[in-house]
Each structure stands twice: as C-alpha cells, then as structure tokens.
Structure 1
Amino acid sequence: MELIYKMVPAALWRKAQDRGRFEGAEIDRKDGFIHFSSATQVEETARRHFSGQRDLLLIAVDAKKLGEALRFEGSRNGEPFPHLYGPLPLDAIVSVKRLPSTAQGGHDFSGLIER
C-alpha cells in the first residue's frame, strides 16, 4: 500500500464526513485538484502552508484506491506531488489522526507518518 497525506482543518473534515466525500479545501477547489503530499514531502508542506494553524488532522490515504484520478505532477522544485482530480472517496482513507501543534507554531509528526 502506498500512502499519501492530506492536512485538513478538523471542521472541514467533519463537513466531508457528513457529505460522505471530501471535495477539498478552498485552495484545492481553486486549483482544480486536491493537493496531497508523500511521506517525504508532508512535513515541508506543513511548514510552508500550515504554519501556525491548529486543530488540523492528518489524513492518510491509500493511493492505489484512487485510480486514474490521481496524478503525480511536478510542483515544488519540479518534484512530483500527488494531485487528485475529483473528490476523495472516504473508503480510500487508511487513518485520520490529530496533528499536534508545537509551541513554535509547527507540527509534531512523531509516529504519524509511515515511511
């Protein structure tokens, strides 16, 4: 199983659960796809885009369950990032874990990422 990761505000995730699918955050909808990160990318993504944000969840997703809607495309420094063109089906989710914040405004990924 290949896992990819998405950081989501808890309130937004509750709405997705009520709907039965996750259609992305505002930036995802604006860009036309849901942004994900690999295990090696997720901490840098948190630092760049989620610094200072609290009440986040880390969603682990089985990439193989997303089929052809998932594409790995060049992004930061040309590195391929997973992008999902369509809603995230909840049955592709492996785990949902609280992402603890640090006193410095970062996040503590200890024990949350499978490499």
Structure 2
Amino acid sequence: MAEHILHITERSLWEAARASGAYEMSTRGRTLQEEGFIHCSLRHQLPTVAAFLYGSYTGPDELVVLVIDPERLGAPLRYEAVTAGGEEFPHIYGPVPPEAVVDVEVWDSGGAAG
C-alpha cells in the first residue's frame, strides 16, 4: 500500500469539489489548469508547507487537510524537487476524485492536523 499524500485547502473548496466530482485547486489561489499539477506533501512536510502557504491566512473558511490514497487517483503522481537536488514533493498531474480522499482533517494554526 502506498503512503498517503496530503493537500491543505479551504473547506469550501473541498466541499465544492465533492459536489462537482473533482478537486482541481493546485495551491492557495491557483488552479490545476494554471499550475499544471496539484501540490501535495508527505506528513512530515505538511507543517512547513502550511506555514508557507497559509501562515498569514485569516480567511473566514477553516483549513482542512485532504488525506489522499495515491492508489485511488486516476492521474499520474510524481515526486519532484522544487530546486535541483532539493527535497521532493508529491505532485498530482490531474484532478483528484473525491473517492481518492480517504480522510479530511481540520488544520489548526498550532501546526498539527487532527
């Protein structure tokens, strides 16, 4: 079984994706179509990613972490570094079907999902 990958987002975006049948946000403020893939992380990478993307977030929506089973994706998953020789992060090259999301965790600003 493949390790689950994670994606942090606003709850309303996740709810809209469940209704439409596909999650297509790449990262905060950018869509899959704009970016070319959906940014994800492994569990140990999540606090750094969340701080970078949402450290200043004061929106009305709560943040959630989508726990994604890579084996349920219908799109390619690649581990790629942001910089040459740097740490690799999982990137999904297509929309995420809601059935690939096996859990939704509330993200708290203290740096832990739960």
Is 1:61 aligned to residue 64 of structure 2?
no
| Counterparts of 2:39 and 2:73, CA distance in 1 | 13
TM-score by length of 2: 0.81
Q: Which has the higher helix share?
A: 1
Deviations 1:5-36 (A, max 9, x none): 00011111111111011011442432110000
Q: What is the CA–CA distance in structure 2 between the aligned matches of 1:80 and 1:28, rounded to whole Å?
A: 21
Q: Does 1:73 align with 2:80?
A: yes
Distance change (3 Å), C-alpha of 1:68 and 1:87 = closer
Matches of residues 29-108 of structure 1 in structure 2 within 5 Å? 29=32, 30-53=34-57, 55-66=62-73, 69-75=76-82, 78-101=86-109, 107-108=110-111
Match of 2:112 in 1: 109
Instruction: Extract unaligned runs of 5+ from structure 2.
Output: none
Q: Which runs of 5+ in 1 are unaligned?
A: 102-106
Contact 2:22–2:97 (CA<8 Å) still a contact in 1? yes
Residue number in structure 2 paired with 1:12: 13
1:59-98 superposed Cα distances (whole Å, 9 cap, x missing partner): 1011222266111111256211110111001111110121
What secondary structure is seen at the aligned counterpart in 2 of 1:52? coil
In structure 2, how many angstroms separate the alpha carbons of the residues matched to 1:58 and 1:99?
6
Among all aligned residue pairs of Structure 1 and Structure 2, give the percentage whose two residues are the same amino acid: 33
Asked if the contact 1:70–1:85 (Cα under 8 Å) also holds between the matched residues in 2, the reply is yes
Structure 1 runs of 4+ with >4 Å offset: none
Count of residues paired in the alignment? 106
**RMSD of aligned Cα (Å):** 1.9
